Amino acid sequence: MQLELTEEERAFRDELRDFFTTKVPQDIRDTVAAGGELTRDQLVESMQTLNAAGYAVPRWPVEWGGQDWTEVQFHIWHAEMERAWVPTPLAFNAGMIGPVIAQFGTEEQKKEFLPKTANLDIWWSQGFSEPDAGSDLAGLRTTAVKDGDDWVVNGQKTWTTLGQYGDWIFMLVRTDPEAKKQAGISMLLIDMEAEGLEVRPIQLIDGGHEVNEVWFEDVRVPGANLVGELNGGWSIAKFLLGNERVGVAPPGIVKRVIARVKGLAEERYADDPLMRSRIAGLENELLALELTAVRVAANSAEGKPDPASSVLKLKGSELQQAVSELVLDLAGPAGLASGASEASELSEWERLAGPQYLNLRKASIYGGSNEVQRQIIARNILGL
Amino acid sequence: MDFLYDDEQDALRDAVKGLVGKAYSDYENRRRVVEKDPGFDEELWARMADMGLLGLPFAEEDGGVGAGPVEIGIVCQELGRVIAPEPFLTSVVLAGGLVSACGTAEQRQEILGALSGGESVLAFAHDEPGRGWTPSAQQVTASQDGDVWTLTGVKEPVPFGARADVLVVSARLPDGGTGLFVLDGAEAERTGYPTYDGTRAARVSFDGTAATPLGEPGADLSNSISTVQDISRVMAANQALGAMQFLLPTTCEYLRSRKQFGVPLSTFQALTFRAADMYVSLQLTRSMVDWATMVVARGEPEPVADAARRVSLQVSRAGRHVGQEAIQLHGGIAMTMEYSVGMYTAHLTALDHLLGDGGHHLRELADAVTTYDALDPLG
At A300-309, the pLDDT tens digits run 555 556 777 8
pLDDT band for position A4 (cuts 50, 70, 90): confident
| CA-based nearest distance A252→chain B, Å | 9
> Measured between CB atoms, does A276 come within 8 Å of chain B?
yes
Closest approach of chain A CAs to the CA of B127, in angstroms? 26
Residue B270 at interface with chain A, using a CB cutoff of 8 Å = no
Q: Which of residues 309-328 of B touch A (CB under 8 A)?
A: 310, 313-314
Q: Please indicate whether, in this complex, the C-beta atoms of A266 and B370 are within 8 angstroms of each other.
A: yes
Q: What pLDDT score does A224 carry?
A: 97
Does A374 reach chain B within 8 Å, measured CB to CB? yes
Residues of A annotated catalytic, as ranges: 244
Q: List per-residue pLDDT tens for chain B, 379 residues long.
A: 788 899 999 999 999 999 999 999 999 999 999 999 999 999 999 999 999 999 999 999 999 999 999 999 999 999 999 999 999 999 999 999 999 999 999 999 999 999 999 999 999 999 999 988 999 999 999 999 999 999 999 999 999 999 999 999 999 999 999 999 999 999 999 999 999 999 999 999 999 999 999 999 999 999 999 999 999 999 999 999 999 999 999 999 999 999 999 999 999 999 999 999 999 999 999 999 999 999 999 999 999 999 999 999 999 999 999 999 999 999 999 999 999 999 999 999 999 999 999 999 999 999 999 999 999 887 6
Which of A292, A371, A373 to mutate to test binding with chain B, by most B CBs within 10 Å of its CB?
A: A292
How many whole angstroms separate alpha carbon B347 and alpha carbon A84?
A: 44
Whether B362 and chain A come into contact, CB under 8 Å, resolves to yes
3-state secondary structure at position B278:
helix
Chain A partners within 8 Å of B368 (Cβ)? 280
Count other Cβ atoms within 10 Å, centred on residue A228.
19
Q: How many Å apart are CA A97 and CA A171, to the nearest integer? A: 10
Chain B residues within an 8 Å CB radius of A287: 288, 310, 375, 377
- The phi-psi region of residue A196 (left if phi > 0; otherwise alpha if psi is between -120 and 50; otherwise beta) is left
A368: Cβ contacts below 8 Å, ≥ 6 apart: A135, A241, A244, A245, A310, A313, A376
| Domains in chain A: ranges and CATH | 7-89 (no CATH), 124-231 (2.40.110.10), 248-381 (1.20.140.10)
Which long-range CB contacts under 8 A does B16-21 form with residues at least 24 apart? B16/B51, B16/B53, B16/B74, B16/B75, B16/B78, B16/B79, B17/B78, B19/B44, B19/B47, B19/B48, B19/B51, B20/B44, B20/B48, B20/B78, B20/B79, B20/B82, B20/B84, B20/B86, B21/B78, B21/B81, B21/B82
Are A2 and B1 a contacting pair at CB < 8 A? yes
Res B377: pLDDT = 82
H-helix segments, B258-357: 269-298, 301-330, 340-354
A285 near B CB under 8 A = yes
Q: How far is B246 from chain A (nearest CA, A)?
A: 13
Nearest beta carbon to residue B291 from set A263, A283, A291: A291
Q: In Å, how far is A111's CA from the nearest CA of chain B?
A: 36
- A88 DSSP assignment: P
Distance between CA B236 and CA B315 in Å, rounded?
9
Q: In chain A, positions 5-34, which contact chain B (CB-CB < 8 Å)?
A: 5, 9
**pLDDT value for A37:** 87
Contact B375 A287 (CB under 8 A): yes
Cross-chain Cβ contact B5/A279 below 8 Å:
no
Distance CA A95, CA A91 (A): 5
With an 8 Å Cβ cutoff, is A346 touching chain B? no
Q: Assess B258–A contact: CB distance below 8 Å, yes or no.
A: no
What does CATH list as the number for B123-213?
2.40.110.10
* Beta-carbon separation of A290 and B295 below 8 A: no
CA distance B16 to chain A (A): 19
Among A255, A263, A277, beta carbon nearest to B366: A277
3-class SS of residue A213: strand
Question: What's the confidence (pLDDT) of residue A352?
Answer: 94
Closest by alpha carbon to B329, among B261, B257, B281? B257
- Phi, psi at residue A198, to the nearest 5°? -135, 135
Question: What backbone torsions phi and psi does residue A7 show, to the nearest 5 degrees?
Answer: -60, -40
Q: Decide if pLDDT at A226 tops 90.
A: yes
Beta bridge mates, B184: B166
SS3 state at B336 = coil
How close B104 comes to chain A (CA, Å)? 31
Instruction: Write out pLDDT tens, residues A246-295.
Output: 777 788 899 999 999 999 999 999 999 999 999 999 999 999 999 998 88
Asked if A267 reaches chain B (Cβ–Cβ under 8 Å), the answer is: no
Give the pLDDT of residue A301. 54
Residues counted in chain A: 384
d(CA B287, nearest CA chain A) in Å: 5
CATH code of the domain made up of B7-120: 1.10.540.10
Note whether B5 contacts A: Cβ–Cβ < 8 A. Answer: yes
* 3-state DSSP assignment of residue B41: coil
- Residue in B closest to A373 by C-alpha: B276
* Domain boundaries along the sequence of chain B: 7-120, 123-213, 222-367
Amino acid, single-letter form, for residue B376:
D
Judge: B378–A3 Cβ closer than 8 Å, yes or no.
yes
Question: Beta B166-172 vs B122-125: how paired, if at all?
Answer: parallel
- Beta-bridge partner residues of A171: A127, A188
Which chain B residues are within 8 Å of A83, Cβ to Cβ? 374
pLDDT digits (tens, 9 = 90+) for A14-41: 999 999 999 999 999 999 998 888 999 9
A295–B contact, CB cutoff 8 A: yes
In 3D, which of B338, B319, B335, B315 has the Cα closest to residue B327? Answer: B335
Rounded distance, CA B44 to CA B40, Å? 8
- CA dist B306 and A223 (Å) reads 60
Q: How far, in Å, CA of B352 to CA of B97, rounded? A: 20
pTM of the full structure: 0.95
CB < 8 Å to B253, chain A: none
pLDDT digits (tens, 9 = 90+) for A144-158: 999 999 999 999 999
Question: For residue A283, which residues of chain B lie inside 8 Å, CB to CB?
Answer: 365, 369, 375
Inform me whether the C-beta atom of residue A277 falls under 8 Å from chain B C-beta atoms: yes
Residue of A nearest to B255 (CA): A384
- Distance of alpha carbon B353 from alpha carbon B349, whole angstroms: 6
Which residues in chain A touch residue B272, judged by CB atoms under 8 angstroms apart?
374-375, 378-379, 382, 384
Q: How many CB pairs under 8 A join A and B?
A: 151
Q: Is B363 on the interface with A (CB under 8 A)?
A: yes
- Chain A residues 47-86 with CB within 8 Å of chain B: 72, 79, 83
The answer to whether the beta carbons of residues B160 and B91 sit under 8 Å apart is yes
Cα-based angle A372, A377, A380 (whole degrees, multiple of 5): 105
**Those residues with Cβ within 8 angstroms of residue B160's Cβ, 6 or more apart along the chain or in another chain:** B38, B39, B40, B87, B90, B91, B121, B123, B199, B200, B201, B202
Positions of E strands within B136-255: 141-145, 148-159, 166-172, 178-184, 189-194, 200-213
CA A278, CA B74: separation in Å to the nearest integer?
32
Residue type at B190?
Answer: R
- Across the range A305-315, mean pLDDT stands at 84
Cβ atoms of B196 and B337 within 8 Å: the answer is: no
SS3 A322: helix
Q: Which of A231, A109, A98 is nearest to A172 (CA)?
A: A231
B276 touches chain A (CB under 8 A): yes
**Among candidate residues B321, B318, B323, B317, the one with its CA nearest the CA of residue B358:** B317
Class of domain B222-367: mainly alpha
Say yes or no for a CB contact (<8 Å) between B2 and A283: no
Mean per-residue pLDDT, A54-64: 96
Find chain A residues with C-beta within 8 A of B3's C-beta. 1, 294-295, 298
Q: Which of A182, A208, A170 minimizes the C-alpha distance to A93?
A: A170
Instruction: Please tell me the total number of residues recorded for chain B in this structure.
Output: 379
Distance set, CA A64 to CA A57, A59, A99, A263 (Å): 9, 10, 10, 41
CA–CA gap between residue A20 and residue A41 (Å, rounded): 18
All residues at 6 or more sequence positions from A94 whose CB lies less than 8 Å from its CB, including other chains: A47, A56, A57, A59, A60, A88, A117, A118
For residue A272, the Cα-to-chain-centroid distance in whole angstroms is 35
Q: Which of B234, B284, B290 to mutate to test the interface with A (most CBs of A within 10 A)?
A: B284
Minimal Cβ distance to A298: which of B3, B314, B368: B3
Q: What is the DSSP string of A1-14?
A: -B-PPPHHHHHHHH
Residues of B in contact with A311 (CB under 8 A): 279-280, 283-284
DSSP labels for A242-295? HHHHHHSS-HHHHHHHHHHHHHHTHHHHTT-HHHHHHHHHHHHHHHHHHHHHHH
Distance CA B344, CA A51 (A): 52
Q: Where are the beta strands (DSSP E) in A165-204?
A: 168-174, 185-191, 197-202
